[in-house]
Structure formats: structure tokens, C-alpha cells
Chain A
Amino acid sequence: MVGSKHKYLLMMIVITTIALFVRPVESADVIILGDTKLKPVADVVNGIKETLPYDTIVKRPSNVKGKLKRLIEKNGIRAVIALGKDAVIMSHALPESIPVVYGLVIKPLKTDRPNITGVYMQTPVSEYISFIDKYFPKIKTVGIVCEHETQKDIKITAKSPKVKLCGANNPYEFIEEVNSLGDDVDALILLPERKLITSKVLEQVYLYSFREKRPVIGISEKYVKTGSLFSLGFQTYEMGKQIGSMTNRVVSQGSTSGIPHSPPDNYSLYINKKTADSMNIHLPEELLSRATKVYP
């Protein structure tokens, strides 16, 4: 026979156990998929939260693998923000009714799904061309070596007579193409081509650059540090805010309709003065004053 005193005790244990193992239902409008252990991702998430007026939950893609759809349905999620390649791939499996805003991918996604839009990281070649036109008039021709697919996009988006485009399928071809540019170009714009840009390729590119005194332009601060003349790079936090704004529009209208894939709104200018000096390139004061950072 169990006494009344023991009965209460048993009940207390059951309640405590339930309280420990049953988690309350997360209520949010937007779910952010991204590995926030990575600092750039965390910065972007902070930017999103800064501008997005909805409740958000943040999940690492590896934690919600196979459970994303149920999680969205269960929590009444109205939009998904996919940060990074894994998150974007995961969001492709979602029904088209759920709008997806991506971020932290290099180029605009080539997809036929209408519910996906976002902000990509690559600075458009046109930005570099206009920048060169304005501040480096002596640079008459720029070379760009990229994947063949990218080559087509550039021909469309940055149609300029001063751009000499070359296609490459692998790093070896990339280097071959770069070396073949020779005196034909005054500068080389480096694009973030994952298949082509390896450490060895970069070494060869810089060798070409300094041997031929042809400045390399791009891709980000990281490359300016190692020898690029200048770069126009996005800022993670600002990009987060841009994604947040885009998501706000998506949630407000309930779809991604009319919202195009966008490059970053803002760029940070980084300049390597030593590279400029070694190549006898004049850096205008205005340019220097605009720079986020000048590496001496």
C-alpha cells in the first residue's frame, strides 16, 4: 500500500521529469539557418535581427537536417533565411510556398524556384569598372579570368570595352590564362571563383602581378592584405541588415515576387599602398579618404 505522503512525492517526480524533457513550443515568424559559430555568420545574423521586426529563431543547418519542414509547419514560420551553402541547399527542399531569402553565397543563385531570392557576396564587375574609371584612368584595360559560366554573366552585366574576359575550367587553365594575358591588360580583376582560386593559383597570380606590374584588383580585404591593389568588399553586418530588410519585404508581401537577387548595397574600400608604390600607381587623395583601411 502506498501512503498519501509517498503518492505526492511520486507525482512531484513525474512533474519534474516532464518539465525537464518537454520543451515549450518555439513561436517565431522567421527561421534563420546558419552556422553562427562562424563569426561572419553571427555578424550577419546580428544585422538581420537589427532590421527584421519579426520574431526569429536561429538554427544550425546540421541541427535541423530532415526536420526543417516539420519545424516550419509546427512553428508557423513565414519565411526562411538561409545563410551559407548548406542552408541554401537545405532550403531548396522546402515547398515553394515558403519564401526563402539567402545570404552569404558568392553569386546569385541559378534556380527556377520562384520562392527564393537573396543577397550574394560578389561585387559586380561593373562596380570595379566604374571605380577604376574614376580613380585609375591610366588603367585602360582589365583582364578577368573566370569560369565560362561566369564569363557569360559578365558579358551581360558588365559589358565594357576595357574588359578582356578569359574562361578557365581549372586552376591550371586559370594560371595559363593569366600568364597569357601578358601586356594585353593593365590590371587583373580577381573574382571569387571557388573552383579556380586556390592558394597556388593566388601565388601564381601575384607572381604575374608583380613581375608584370599589373595590379590585381579584388576580391576582399584578405586579398588586399596579400598584395591586391584595392578591393570593394561587403560588410557582414551591413549585409545582414540588407538581408533583414529584404526578408521584411518578403514577409510583408508573403512572397519573393518582385524582389530580385541583389549584390551588396555597401562596399568597404581597402587599399594596399605598398602595392601601388611598387607599381608606380598614383592613389588619389579622395580615394584614400574613402578607404575603410589603407595598408601601408
Chain B
Amino acid sequence: MKIMKNINISTLFGHPVTFKQKILFVAVTGLIMASIVYTFEAVRTERSIIREEIIKKAEVVTELASHIGELPLISENEEHAKKAISSLMKIPEISFISFYDKNQNLLTTEGDINPPKRTHPEQDMTIIEHNDYFDLCTPVFTVRAQEDIAIFQETDSNMEVRDHVGWVRIGFSKTFMKEAESSIVMRGLIIALIFTIISITLIYKLFDVATKPLTSLTTAVKSIRRGKYPEIPVSSEDEIGTLTTEFNRMSRSIKDREDMLITQLHLSAFAADIGKALTESDNLDAMLDECISTIVKYRDPALARIWIYNNEEHLLELKASSGIFTIENSPFKTIPVGSYEAGTIAEKHTSHYTNNIEELYPDDLELAKLNGIEAYAGYPLIVEKQLVGVLEIYALQPIAGDILSTLEYVVNEIGLGIQHKLTALQIASSLREKEVLLREVHHRVKNNMQVISSLLNLQSDKLRDKQYIAMFNESRNRILAMALVHEKLYRSEDIANIDFSDYIASLANGLFSFYDISPLRIQLKLDIESINLVLDTSIPCGLIINELISNALKHAFPDDSKGELSISFRKLNVLGKDTYNLIVKDNGVGVPADLDFRKTRSLGLQLVTTLVEHQLQGSLKLERTSGTEFNILFREPEYKKRM
């Protein structure tokens, strides 16, 4: 039992053992054991039978010999004895024959074996078994009639007398018995082997047949794993048949669910692609082309096209087409609302789909027939009850319900996308108009400021006092500095911001020119980052720079002395916030040590202080160590929207 418990047939040489192999293993083991037991028992029985048969034959032969020996023993004649023996020795199993007279004297003997002495039986036959032969001995009697009448008539045995005349002794060889036994053993083994092989084959076939449905089910389950959903023929009404039926139902159910899932995934992918086309396309035409391409890609119609409704002219304009017609080769680029299928759909605001093209309008029918069209689907693209266009599908095969569902699913999205793009176009157009207007305003402001500057120039020509002339010039420069801001704005691509590096360079060059300063005498060094500033910051900032440059050009280098003027404008990150740093520095004579620029009567410096600290809400620091350096820090203020 312990051994049996230790036998594990769940694996064989490390491989899992199948149910069929387990059954075969048990059946084959049982068969072999049964064959061995049966063969052993059959051989044992047959050996026993053969032995009995041999003994019986020996007894019969001995009995025959007793009859044959009657005459030789009665007559005690050796010739008769030899004759009898020679006839008996023809029996191949006989090893020796001996005749003994009634006094147990050996009368004659013949054979291969010299029989050992033995006690002769009185009445019945006796058998002594030797290794190689059976030693049979039987008394020989002669029968004579007891009554005379017995000679004449058939009477009962009571009238007969048996006279003992001697013995006959026969050695019956075992050679034939052993040969027969060997033959039986060999035959038994061969039969057992054949039986085992045939039985194993039959059992294998039987189990093959029995497990075939299970194998089919296993194969089918593997197919399901690979994405196929086979149905197995139900060949019986037993448990296997029920299992097969339930499996088929399960397979169908999984297939239906997977189909549904695939459809939904397909639909989702289709919708996602349509959504992508709707959202990522730059313009309406590209969006519609992408939508049509997506429809063709997923539904493969013969023709798909989108008409856009022109409200002003009350017609449909072809905006996207793919399939047998593109926009370029389409026979119609526009159709009136109310004409053709698309026009009718636009007019009625109702979709129309059919697998019978005879229902189409004659012109559309002609087009369909010419191109082998079988089915049609058209949908109005309506947003908030307003028609924006029509989507049409022409198919070479009948359109299935799932295609219609898919199209219905995206029709509203496409409508919304079209509406969105149309709205975006309108907004962009409006913005462009406003920008043009703003540029015009800035241009006009700049022109007006230049006019003011020119007027001031003309007015200053009437003056003789240099102080007043200088005042007029300073005012002119301030106006021009502001005009330069407006000029940079209307020239800028971005109407709201000014590239301040460009502005500073233009302003500095303008002032150098105004004051007629040679760059050879005062060298201008600009260290300016490309920084964009809004108008509200640019104006005060421009005025500050104008005042500081003008101040340096006027006072820092007296007597045509040479020097250097450097302007630095950088964006810094101070405490996590963008901070601008403007430095205007010269290596000129510098401001007097006792000059408090906040209390000076110079309008320019007052203006600088006011603009920095009040308008820009920054800080201003004056360094006088080597020349003059104005260091200004400010953040761009948050301006209120001017709406």
C-alpha cells in the first residue's frame, strides 16, 4: 500500500500526464497483469490436462498391452511376446515394455531404459513417476467361461473366470509431455502477448473514441484562446453531448461578447479618430478631409462626402469627398438645398438610408448605377437645430446596421466640429480685423506724435533763447520716444508687445543722432536681452531710457570729451518672480556728489523718479563711483483689461 501511495502518475519524465494516458496506463497495467495471471493459470491447467491425458493415454496403452500380452503370457512364448512388444513399441511415447510371467520372472523386455525392479501389483494398474518417464505396471488376465453355456451364448460376467497369467510393465516417456508443455507455454505466452497488444490497441482506440469529444473540446478551448470560436458537432446525448452543447453556447456567447466588444472598440477607435480629426486639424477643410478619410478607412464606402451649408446662398458646398469622386473630379461642387438626396436631407433635416438604390433621386440614382452602388446613407449635420452640412455614404454592398450605428454615432460630433471650426474662423477673422484697426491706431498715434514733434520743432525755430530751445527739444525727444513705442507696436507681429531690445537700440541711435554725437566720441554699448514688454510698461520705460540717455549725452561728457555709454536691460528671477533690471551707465564726469536726484529741479530726473517709483513701482539707485550709473529694478505691473 505504501508503494501504491508513492506511485505518482501525474507526471511522466517531467511531462504532465493526460487523462487518456493515465487511463491507458491503468488499463494496460491491468491487462498485462490479467494476461500474465490468465496465461499462468491456463498453462498450469493445460499442463495438468496434458499430464492427465498422457497418463490416461499411458493407462490405455498399458490396458491395450495387457490385452496384447494375454497370448504371449498364456503361451509364455517369447516370439509372441516380441511380436506384441514390436507392435506396441510403434507407439512413440513408449520407452520400454516388459512382460513378466505369473511368477514375476522377466519373460522379455525391450526399450531404451533398463527398468529398475519393482513390486508388481496384485490386481490393479499402478503408476510410478520418474523424472523422464511414467512406470506403469498392470496384471494380465485371461478370461474363460465358468459355465459351458457361456461358450455358446452371451451371458453375464458371473459366468466368466479371470486367470492371472502375468504382468506387463510399460515405461511411458515424458519427452512428448515436456515438448507439449513447452509448446503450450510458448503458445500461451504468444497468445498473451497478442491478446495484450490487441487489447491495448482496442483500449487505445476505445479511449480515443471516448476522449475524442474531450480532445475536440480541448482543441476548441485552445482555439478560443487564440481568438477563434469553433462549434463542435454534438454526436451524442450523453454527458459529453451535454457538455459539448454547453460549450458551443459558451463559445457563441464569448464570440458575441467579443464581437460586441470589437464593435465597441471599433466604434470607439472610429469615434476617437473622428474626434482627433475634429480637434487636431488646423482648419475646416483639413478637418473634413480627415473625417472623410477616417470614415473611408473604417467603413470602406465607395464614396463618402461632406457638404457644408451656405446659409447666405442657401446651398450646399462640397467640402470633402473620398472614393469614386474627389472634390476635384466631382460633377457638382455645390447643390441647391432641396435638390438631390443631400439637398433633400438638408431641407428636411432628416437622415435617409436605404439598401435599395431605386429609392434615390434620379440624378443620384444614375450616379449610383453607373458606379455599381448598392446602398446609400445620408445624415443632416445639425447643431442646435441649425443645419451645418450633410454627410453622405455610397456603398457597393448593403449597409449593415452596425455601420449605420457607427455613422449616427459620429454625425453629431462632425456637426459640432464643423460648427466649432466655422465659429473659430469667424473669431479669427474678427481678431484680424481688430489687429489691423489697432495697428492703424498706433500708426496714427505715432504720426500725430511726429506731427506734434514737428510742430514743436517749427515753434522752436522761432525761439532764440537756447534754454527754451533745449526745453522744446527735450519735449520733442520725449514725444518721439513715445512715438517710437507706437511705431514698434504697429510694426510688431504681436500688436500687444514690443521687442524692447530693438526699441532701446532705435531710441539710443535716434538720440545720438539728435544730439549729433559721434559714436567715435561716445561709444554706445548695449547689453540687452530680447524682452517683450506691453504698451503700458513700454511707454514709461521708454521715457525713462530717453531721459537717462539724454541726460548722459548732455552732461556726462562736456567739452567734446570722449567716453562710453552702456545700457543693460535684463530679466532676472528674484524671489521666483520675473524682475527687469535696467542699467544706464556712463563713464563721464558724473553728477555732483551733493546732488540728490530725487530733489533736483531737473524735469528729466524728476520724470525718471516718478515713472520708476510710481508708475512702474520699481526702485532706482544711483551709483557715482566711476561716472554715473542708474540702476533700476521693476516688475511688470498687472494691468487691468481695457474692455
**What residues make up the interface of A, taking CB atoms closer than 8 Å to B?**
35, 38-41, 84-85, 104-106, 121, 170-173, 175, 192, 194-195, 197-201, 204, 219-222, 233-234, 236
Q: Separation in Å of the B84 CB from the closest CB of chain A?
A: 10
- List residues of chain A with CB within 8 A of the CB of B77: 172
Q: Are A170 and B74 in contact (CB under 8 A)?
A: yes
Bound complex: CA A84 to CA B146 (Å): 10
Asked whether B269 is an interface residue with its Cβ less than 8 Å from the other chain, the reply is no
Q: Are B154 and A38 in contact (CB under 8 A)?
A: no
5 A–B pairs (Cβ distance < 8 Å), ordered by A: A38-B155, A41-B149, A200-B74, A201-B71, A204-B71
Further pairs besides A35-B147, A172-B80, A220-B151: 9, Cβ < 8 Å: A38-B149, A106-B148, A106-B151, A172-B75, A172-B77, A192-B152, A194-B151, A200-B67, A200-B70
Q: Separation in Å of the B296 CB from the closest CB of chain A?
A: 115
- List residues of chain B with CB within 8 A of the CB of A220: 151-153
The listed residue with most A CB atoms (<10 A of its CB), out of B144, B147, B156, is B147
With A171-B75, A172-B74 in contact, is A222–B154 under 8 Å at CB? yes
Bound complex: CA A1 to CA B77 (Å): 85
- List residues of chain A with CB within 8 A of the CB of B74: 170-172, 198, 200
Bound complex: CA A194 to CA B144 (Å): 7
Q: Are B152 and A222 in contact (CB under 8 A)?
A: yes
With A121-B152, A220-B152, A233-B152 in contact, is A194–B145 under 8 Å at CB? yes
The listed residue with most B CB atoms (<10 A of its CB), out of A39, A40, A197, A204, is A40
Q: Are B71 and A171 in contact (CB under 8 A)?
A: yes
Asked whether B159 is an interface residue with its Cβ less than 8 Å from the other chain, the reply is yes
Q: Are A198 and B70 in contact (CB under 8 A)?
A: yes
- List residues of chain A with CB within 8 A of the CB of B67: 200
The listed residue with most A CB atoms (<10 A of its CB), out of B67, B142, B149, B155, is B149
Asked whether B143 is an interface residue with its Cβ less than 8 Å from the other chain, the reply is yes
- For chain B residues 76-132, which have a beta carbon within 8 Å of chain A? 77, 80
**What residues make up the interface of B, taking CB atoms closer than 8 Å to A?**
67, 70-71, 74-75, 77, 80, 142-145, 147-149, 151-156, 159
- List residues of chain A with CB within 8 A of the CB of B153: 40, 220-222, 236
Q: Separation in Å of the B320 CB from the closest CB of chain A?
A: 125
- List residues of chain A with CB within 8 A of the CB of B144: 194-195, 198
- List residues of chain B with CB within 8 A of the CB of A221: 153
- List residues of chain A with CB within 8 A of the CB of B75: 170-173
Bound complex: CA A222 to CA B71 (Å): 22
With A171-B75, A172-B71, A175-B71 in contact, is A197–B151 under 8 Å at CB? yes
Beta-carbon nearest neighbor of B145 in chain A: A194
- List residues of chain B with CB within 8 A of the CB of A104: 147-149
With A171-B74, A172-B74, A204-B71 in contact, is A198–B142 under 8 Å at CB? yes
Bound complex: CA A198 to CA B74 (Å): 10
Bound complex: CA A220 to CA B148 (Å): 13
Bound complex: CA A106 to CA B148 (Å): 6
With A171-B74, A200-B67, A200-B71 in contact, is A38–B159 under 8 Å at CB? yes
Q: Are B71 and A219 in contact (CB under 8 A)?
A: no
Q: Are A200 and B149 in contact (CB under 8 A)?
A: no
- List residues of chain B with CB within 8 A of the CB of A38: 147, 149, 155-156, 159
Q: Are A121 and B71 in contact (CB under 8 A)?
A: no
Checking A170, A195, A199 against B143 with a beta-carbon cut-off of 8 angstroms, the contacting residue is A199
Q: Separation in Å of the A40 CB from the closest CB of chain B?
A: 5
Bound complex: CA A256 to CA B568 (Å): 199
- List residues of chain B with CB within 8 A of the CB of A105: 148
Q: Separation in Å of the B153 CB from the closest CB of chain A?
A: 6
Q: Separation in Å of the B211 CB from the closest CB of chain A?
A: 73
- List residues of chain B with CB within 8 A of the CB of A84: 147-149
Q: Separation in Å of the B3 CB from the closest CB of chain A?
A: 69
Bound complex: CA A204 to CA B77 (Å): 15
The 6 closest A-B pairs by CB, nearest first: A172-B75, A220-B152, A192-B151, A106-B148, A200-B71, A200-B70
Bound complex: CA A128 to CA B108 (Å): 42
Beta-carbon nearest neighbor of A172 in chain B: B75
With A172-B77, A222-B153 in contact, is A198–B148 under 8 Å at CB? no
- List residues of chain A with CB within 8 A of the CB of B148: 84-85, 104-106, 121, 192, 194
Q: Are B71 and A85 in contact (CB under 8 A)?
A: no
Bound complex: CA A221 to CA B151 (Å): 11
Q: Are A219 and B151 in contact (CB under 8 A)?
A: yes
Beta-carbon nearest neighbor of B152 in chain A: A220
Bound complex: CA A98 to CA B237 (Å): 107
Bound complex: CA A35 to CA B156 (Å): 13
Beta-carbon nearest neighbor of A38 in chain B: B155
Bound complex: CA A105 to CA B154 (Å): 16
Q: Separation in Å of the B594 CB from the closest CB of chain A?
A: 185
- List residues of chain A with CB within 8 A of the CB of B147: 35, 38, 84-85, 104
Q: Are B143 and A198 in contact (CB under 8 A)?
A: yes
- List residues of chain A with CB within 8 A of the CB of B70: 198-200
- List residues of chain B with CB within 8 A of the CB of A194: 144-145, 148, 151
Q: Separation in Å of the A268 CB from the closest CB of chain B?
A: 11
Bound complex: CA A159 to CA B80 (Å): 34
Beta-carbon nearest neighbor of A231 in chain B: B152
Beta-carbon nearest neighbor of A196 in chain B: B144
Q: Are B149 and A121 in contact (CB under 8 A)?
A: yes
With A171-B71, A200-B67 in contact, is A219–B152 under 8 Å at CB? yes
Q: Separation in Å of the A156 CB from the closest CB of chain B?
A: 22
With A170-B75, A175-B71, A198-B142 in contact, is A234–B159 under 8 Å at CB? no
- List residues of chain A with CB within 8 A of the CB of B143: 198-199
- List residues of chain B with CB within 8 A of the CB of A204: 71
- List residues of chain A with CB within 8 A of the CB of B149: 38, 40-41, 84, 104, 121
Bound complex: CA A172 to CA B75 (Å): 5
Beta-carbon nearest neighbor of B70 in chain A: A200
- List residues of chain A with CB within 8 A of the CB of B71: 171-172, 175, 200-201, 204
Bound complex: CA A172 to CA B69 (Å): 12
Bound complex: CA A200 to CA B148 (Å): 18
Q: Separation in Å of the A233 CB from the closest CB of chain B?
A: 6
- List residues of chain A with CB within 8 A of the CB of B154: 222
- List residues of chain B with CB within 8 A of the CB of A198: 70, 74, 142-144
Bound complex: CA A98 to CA B152 (Å): 30
Q: Are A234 and B152 in contact (CB under 8 A)?
A: yes
